[in-house]
């Protein structure tokens, strides 16, 4: 409290605090029209990735289905047809279904996948109205020829919202070597290429990857908090 509010009786100073608030910028985000940037590792709906040449990454190994704690993934592998191979190996994912009524977006399928075939996007606005819509088939999960996710009729996202798709990150090297810290990479994304490496935990500037989205999010929040009188700075108590 400083300045004019010292003149207000102690019991009424609360009115000064609340009286200032209508003139502060609002913290509310007008959701459908404006969207808050998503955290870097947001777990949205899955996509099935493809290689640059259009081959599918999935080899039908069913590790994702095995590791899934919600038992929402159903995979059946099949041998690649020799004349028209679907994936570069021996086998490919013949059936691939994810039941989003059960999926808890834990990301374990992504960690289990040996070929980075399945990743989680940041897309989360899929308000399906029937059970059959909730079960995403391979045709729906697979990215298109440009490596971008398909927008299904019941999904509410605008062009560009998929920019931040595919949020998988390798925090350490596959071998678990600590010296690789700071060099761990994002997985490659067909539509948008490869991102910068993540910072290591011993980096003094913080463990978080300082993505633009994160910074703007933090600024929005801290600005709002400062607006209502919550400040991270300690009050100056002088020399005593």
Partner 1 sequence: MSGDPLFANGLNLAVWVILVVKVVAVFAIVLLSVLFMIMYERKVIARLGVRYGPNRAGPNGWLQSLADGTKLLFKEAFTPKGADKVVYKIAPYLMLLPALIAFAIVPLGGHITIAHHTTELQLADPQWGILFLLMTSGVAVYGVMMAGWSSGSKYPLLGSVRASAQMVSYEAVLGLTTATAVLVTGSLHTSAIVAAQHGGFLYHWNIIHTAVIPFILFSVAITAEMTRAPFDLVEAEEEISGGYNLEYSSVDFAWFYLAEYAALITNSAIIITLWLGGPDGPRIAGHSIGPVWFIIKMLVVLYIFVWIRATLPRLRYDQLMDLGWKRMIPAALAMLMIIAGFQATTTTSGSGIAHYLAERKWGFLAIVASVLLYALLTRAIEVGKQATGLDDPTDAHHKVGGQI
Told to check if 227 binds partner 1 by CB under 8 A, we report: yes
Instruction: Based on the shown chain and the rule CB under 8 A, indicate whether residue 6 belongs to the binding site for partner 1.
Output: no
CB of 24 to partner 1, least distance (A): 5
To the nearest whole angstrom, how small is the minimum distance from the Cβ of residue 87 to partner 1?
A: 47
223 belongs to the binding site for partner 1 (CB under 8 A): no
What is the CA 117 to chain-centroid distance, rounded?
Answer: 17
Name the CA dihedral angle for 105, 109, 112, 116, rounded to a multiple of 10 degrees.
-100
Q: Are 143 and 120 in contact (CB under 8 A)?
A: no
Give the integer Cα–Cα distance in Å for 110 and 90.
21
Tell which one of 144, 163, 228, 231 touches partner 1 (CB under 8 A).
Answer: 228
Ordered alpha helix ranges (H), 25-176: 63-67, 108-112, 131-134, 138-141
> Quick check: 15 binds partner 1 (CB under 8 A)?
yes
Residues 6+ apart with CB under 8 A from 135: 97, 98, 99, 100, 101
* Least distance between partner 1 and beta carbon 216 (Å): 19
Binding partner 1 by CB under 8 A: which of 3, 9, 22, 238? Answer: 22
**Whole-number minimum distance, CB 178 to partner 1, in Å?**
45
Asked if 130 is part of the footprint of partner 1 (rule: CB under 8 A), the reply reads no
Which of 6, 18, 216, 222 lies at the binding interface for partner 1 (CB under 8 A)?
18
221 near partner 1, rule: CB under 8 A? no
| Min CB(204)–partner 1 separation in Å | 34
Q: Does 17 sit near partner 1 (CB under 8 A)?
A: yes
- Count residues binding partner 1 (CB under 8 A): 16
Residues 146 and 131: their CA atoms lie apart, in Å, by 29
User: Cβ of residue 128: shortest distance to partner 1, in angstroms?
Assistant: 23
Rounded Cα–Cα distance for residues 5 and 14 (Å): 10
Q: Does 21 participate in binding partner 1 (rule CB under 8 A)?
A: yes
Nearest to 120 by CA among 166, 51, 189: 166
Among 19, 114, 182, 206, binds partner 1 (CB under 8 A): 19
Q: Which residues contact partner 1 by CB under 8 A?
A: 14-15, 17-19, 21-22, 24-28, 30, 224, 227-228
């Amino acid at each position: 409290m400083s300045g004019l509010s010292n003149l207000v009786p102690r019991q009424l100073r609360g009115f000064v605090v609340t009286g200032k608030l209508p003139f502060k910028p609002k913290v509310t985000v007008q959701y459908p029209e404006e969207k808050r940037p998503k955290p870097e590792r947001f777990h949205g709906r899955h996509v099935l990735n493809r290689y640059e040449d259009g081959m599918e990454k999935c080899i039908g190994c069913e590790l994702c289905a095995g590791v899934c704690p919600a038992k929402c993934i159903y995979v059946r592998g099949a041998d690649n047809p020799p004349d028209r191979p679907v994936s570069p190996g021996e086998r490919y994912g013949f059936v691939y279904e994810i039941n989003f009524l059960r999926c808890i977006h834990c990301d374990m399928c992504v960690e289990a996948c040996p070929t980075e075939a399945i990743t989680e996007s940041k897309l989360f606005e899929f308000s399906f109205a029937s059970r059959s819509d909730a079960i995403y088939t391979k045709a729906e999960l697979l990215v298109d020829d440009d490596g971008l996710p398909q927008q299904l009729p019941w999904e509410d996202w605008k062009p560009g919202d998929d920019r931040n798709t595919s949020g998988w990150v390798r925090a350490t090297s596959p071998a678990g070597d600590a010296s690789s810290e700071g060099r761990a990479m994002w997985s490659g994304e067909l539509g948008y290429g490869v991102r910068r490496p993540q910072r290591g935990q011993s980096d003094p500037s913080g463990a978080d990857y300082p993505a633009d989205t994160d910074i703007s999010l933090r600024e929005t929040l801290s600005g709002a908090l400062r607006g209502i009188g919550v400040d991270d700075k300690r009050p100056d108590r002088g020399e005593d």
